[in-house]
């Protein structure tokens, strides 16, 4: 444990923890998506068919990383933020950090019409990595659809069971007690290695609220990973929720890494 406390975890160029995350978009017009991507100057075509690198320049030049203290952009060598791939009638955006995913979702929502493509879910890793640790080889190795779907459906099923118990409770106090116990138990659970977040966006939704919800969800999990890296084995999502709410709704100092 002492060795770990002395060893920093792996970070990316823009300062945040390295935590692989993949955004998956459903496509309604595959050709329309490709045409839209080709027009973006912040994307550069890769040798692999239907693949682009996303760079911190041009249309996304004003994206702001509060975690940076002394980083200076090099206009001749812009930072590569992630990769975009079209495959099997899906669009995949592979990114090395939660912060970049939180910035990518509203950015690409603005750049790609919802009638052409819309974000469906995000797959991510609930840990940080040592500088000398073997990193997973590719996102295919990291994320198994069957496993992630099973985990997601299990959690939905558990929630619906609690919802039914609350609806059948004999009093409001009993329902509140059931819900409180469920929330406490969930917050204390050990997070799975890989997890899936599903976006459920309706036309009437306030997108700023949707994007903030995604940020808060990832923020809590990143805090848990980092705190436990530094030896706080008992740190849970409940603790992370308290810190996140204070940061977001208190001082409004919103950032993935402080």
**What does the pLDDT look like over 61-90, one tens digit per residue?**
888 766 555 566 677 788 899 999 998 889
Q: How many domains does the chain have?
A: 1
- Whether the predicted pLDDT of 144 surpasses 70: no
Does 174 reside within a domain?
no
pLDDT of res. 232: 86
Domain of residue 89, residue span: 2-128+138-143+192-251
Q: What percent of the chain has pLDDT over 70?
A: 75
Query: How confident is the model over 183-238, as pLDDT tens digits?
Result: 666 666 677 888 889 898 777 778 888 898 899 889 989 999 999 888 888 888 88
Residue 182 lies in a domain: no
If we measure between CA atoms, which residue out of 69, 121, 84 comes closest to residue 255? 69
Q: Is pTM beyond 0.75 here?
A: yes
Question: For residue 8, what pLDDT is reported?
Answer: 82
- What's the confidence (pLDDT) of residue 234? 81
pLDDT surpasses 60 at 178 = yes
Structure tokens at 144: 């198994």
Is residue 215 situated within a structural domain? yes
Looking at residue 177, its pLDDT comes to 78
Position with higher pLDDT, 171 vs 98: 98
- pLDDT score of 236: 83
Per-residue pLDDT band at 37 (split at 50, 70, 90): very high
According to the model, what pLDDT value does residue 139 have? Answer: 63
- Is 209 inside a domain boundary? yes
* 177 part of a folded domain: no
Residue 21: predicted pLDDT: 94
CA angle 244, 167, 201 (to 5 degrees): 45
Q: How confident is the model at residue 257 (pLDDT cuts 50, 70, 90)?
A: very low
* Inside any domain, residue 162: no
pLDDT at residue 243 in the model: 81
**Does residue 129 surpass a pLDDT of 50?**
yes
Question: What mean pLDDT comes out for the span 18-24?
Answer: 93
How big is the CA angle at 239 (ends 154 and 212), to the nearest 5 degrees? 70
- What does the pLDDT read at residue 188? 65
Does residue 149 belong to any structural domain of this protein?
A: no
pLDDT digits (tens, 9 = 90+) for 42-54: 999 999 889 999 9
**What is the band of 151 on the pLDDT scale with cuts at 50, 70, 90?**
low
The pLDDT of residue 159: 60
Annotate 44-82 with b (16+ C-beta within 10 A) or e (fewer).
eeeeeeebbebbbbeebeebebebeeeeeeeeeebbebb
End-to-end C-alpha distance for the chain, whole angstroms: 24
User: Given pLDDT bands bounded at 50, 70 and 90, which one contains residue 156?
Assistant: low
Q: Which residues contact 122 (CB under 8 A, 6 or more apart)?
A: 21, 22, 23, 24, 101, 196, 197, 199, 214, 218
Share of the chain above pLDDT 90, in %: 29
Residue 156 lies in a domain: no
Please, which residues bridge with residue 130 across strands? 9
């Amino acid at each position: 444990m002492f060795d770990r406390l002395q060893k920093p975890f792996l970070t990316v160029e823009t300062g945040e923890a390295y935590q692989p995350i993949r955004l998956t978009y459903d496509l309604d017009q595959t050709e329309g998506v490709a045409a839209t991507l080709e027009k973006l100057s912040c994307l550069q075509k890769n040798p692999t068919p239907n693949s682009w690198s996303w760079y911190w320049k041009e249309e996304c030049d004003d994206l702001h990383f509060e975690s940076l203290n002394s980083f200076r952009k090099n206009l001749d060598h812009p930072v590569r933020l992630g990769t975009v791939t079209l495959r099997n009638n899906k669009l995949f955006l592979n990114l090395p950090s939660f912060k970049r995913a939180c910035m990518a979702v509203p950015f690409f929502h603005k750049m790609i019409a919802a009638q052409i493509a819309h974000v469906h879910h995000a797959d991510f890793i609930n840990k940080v990595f040592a500088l000398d640790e073997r990193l997973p080889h590719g996102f295919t190795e990291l994320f198994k659809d069957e496993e992630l779907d099973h985990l997601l459906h299990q959690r939905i099923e558990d929630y619906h069971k609690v919802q039914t118990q609350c609806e059948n409770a004999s009093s409001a106090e009993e329902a509140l007690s059931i819900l409180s116990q469920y929330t406490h138990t969930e917050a204390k659970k050990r997070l799975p290695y890989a997890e899936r977040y599903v976006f459920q966006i309706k036309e009437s939704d306030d997108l700023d609220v949707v994007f903030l919800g995604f940020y808060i969800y990832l923020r809590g999990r990143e805090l848990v990973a980092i705190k436990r890296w530094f030896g706080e084995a008992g740190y849970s999502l409940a603790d992370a929720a308290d810190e996140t709410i204070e940061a977001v709704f208190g001082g409004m100092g919103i950032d993935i890494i402080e």
